[in-house]
Homo-oligomer: A and B are copies of this chain.
Amino acid sequence: MISQFIIRRLPRYYRYLLQLEELSVESVSSAQFANAMGLTASQIRQDLNTFGAFGRQGYGYNVRILKSKISELLGLAAEKKTILIGVGNLGRAVIMYKDFIHRGFLLCGAFDVSAEIIGSKIGDITVQSIENMEKYLKETPADVAVLCIPSVAAKDVVSALWKCGVTAYWNFSHYDVKNDYPEAIVENVHLNDSLSVLSYEISRN
């Protein structure tokens, strides 16, 4: 079992390698890498060696190869069929979020309860009634659901999604999916908590 600390550093490594590739840099040493990330060279080497020996002594790491290794580790190339629930301001923002597809998430549908929103088009996506959701998923199964709904609504929505075989969640609500479905794959984005930490740092000055 690989430590969460390592996993959470990989996306940053990946982004750095994307940058280097754009600058046509061929190789990078753990020292350079560490410097850019604000970490130690030791840590970079330890982190990478958790997954294999991707470097070469006296040369460093080949940018293109390392990038593709990390991409593979993160499973970014795999297509993940995704639906979104809750087309409020945040939901709309996520639908329009371009980098989505660069991480392999293919947005197939969006659902809402509000009659005013149902039927409207956001980018390529036409918003459907949430009442269609179960029927829709029976015909076109999805891997991931993005939850852009209030916590109170989330419990019932996830219950329906879970029954339809949706096991992974990108959760912007405060509903604790793992608590009710310990098997679920959940990545929480708690903007509130992030703001609170910022508030703490500000008040400390």
Contacts and interface: CB of A to CB of B under 8 A. Distances in A.
Q: What is the interface of chain A mostly: helix, strand, loop, or mixed?
A: helix
A199 B74 contact: yes
Contacts of A75: 199-200, 202-204
Chain A, interface size: which category?
35 or more
A92 to B, nearest CB: 6
Copies in the complex: 2
Interface string A7-29: 11011101100000000000000
Interface in A94-152: 95-97, 99-100, 102-105, 143-144
Contact of A192 (B11, B88, B190, B203): B11
Contact of A92 (B7, B76, B89, B191): B89
A84 B13 CA distance: 28
Contacts of A38: 178
Nearest to A168: B202
B168 A198 contact: yes
